[in-house]
Structure 1
């Protein structure tokens, strides 16, 4: 009888030990953030979650928000104007420039949207009044007048974009947004060179 009680006690102790081990594993899983999806909405309970590479809404500075909004609207305008150039431009070089803008800025826009979705940030989904007017003015142009206006806008706009992306890359707070800015800069610089070259070729 005594031997049976000892065996029973040993089995109970082993079960409790295994339960503790399982709990420890579960806690470890929680602290690494592996078990919980990024957008679960659960509050962070330890420091491991605060350094997640996709960041959180609380990581965003005013600079980050201002940049993200401007980049979203600017990228949207580039795609819209690029599509206009593909159909309204008279010169083939201008049409090709427009096509490049549509392709590259659509890709960048999608990357920005994916970043925003991951941290729960809402980007603007329409142009502001200033950019809408620029688009409407361009849409009214035809032929060589369109080519001149479009290439001039692309030079001016990309100079502004490059300055904004450089500022975010150096002064931004949220790591993944800074990375997006740095990664996109070479494309914008290429766009500026091509826009200047195409503008010089418009007669």
Structure 2
């Protein structure tokens, strides 16, 4: 009887030892798995941030063509908005008023795009028009009635012919990719402005 009890106790003790060894082995496997996977996220995050920060235009890399274009586009855009707003108020012809509103609205949008590009490129756009452009605005403002209408429409036809030529050159020969894209995107709007200006001019004869 005593021998049977001793045998059972010995078996129980062996089973208990085996169970502890199994738990210890499982825990060591889990800790190994965790330590091998934990550090993998860090380098990946750094790589992602490096890729994002490397994008963008550097103002120092702009060519003479790019700088000349963007300065002229900024000043010309300001003039088109001011002239258009003037026509929307001072024109006596309903078609001229509508033309002014459309041109002012479209050029405001183009100006905003140019400002976004300048902010990203750290480039300082001109804040005022040329003296000659300001004189054109002041001269137009002094006109009334049919004289105002004719002067404004003639100005829009002539100005947009020059604008279209400049934007075509930039879309082909510009160095900065974003400025080339801006010129290409804006061209159809400028061509539409000229077409509408010519229509209004023909109707006024």
Into which bin does the TM-score normalised by the smaller protein fall? Answer: 0.7 to 0.9
Q: Distance in 1 between matches of 2:165 and 2:201?
A: 21
Q: Which has the larger radius of gyration?
A: 2
Counterpart position of 2:67? 65
**Divergent runs of 4+, >2 A:** 14-19, 21-24
Q: CA deviation at 1:59?
A: 3.1
TM-score (norm 2): 0.79
| Equivalent of 2:43 in 24, 46, 55 | 24
Q: Distance in 2 between matches of 1:185 and 1:22?
A: 46
Counterpart position of 1:96? 98
Alpha carbons 1:151, 1:199 under 8 Å: kept? yes
Counterpart position of 1:197? 199
Q: Distance in 1 between matches of 2:50 and 2:98?
A: 50
Structure 1 gap ranges (5+): 1-6, 37-48
TM-score (norm 1): 0.80
What is the number of residues matched between the two proteins? 180
- Residues 161-192 of structure 1, C-alpha deviations (whole Å, 9 max, x = no match): 00110011001111111101000000000000
Counterpart position of 2:166? 164
RMSD across aligned positions (CA) = 2.2
Q: CA deviation at 1:23?
A: 4.4
- What SS class does the counterpart of residue 150 from structure 2 fall into? helix
Alpha carbons 1:144, 1:202 under 8 Å: kept? no
Structure 2 gap ranges (5+): 1-26
Q: Distance in 2 between matches of 1:110 and 1:95?
A: 23
- Residues 17-41 of structure 1, C-alpha deviations (whole Å, 9 max, x = no match): 844x3442243123312xx4xxxxx
Structure with greater helix percent: 2
Q: Give yes or no for the alignment of 1:185 onto 2:204.
A: no
- Residues 64-97 of structure 1, C-alpha deviations (whole Å, 9 max, x = no match): 1111111111011001001111111111111111
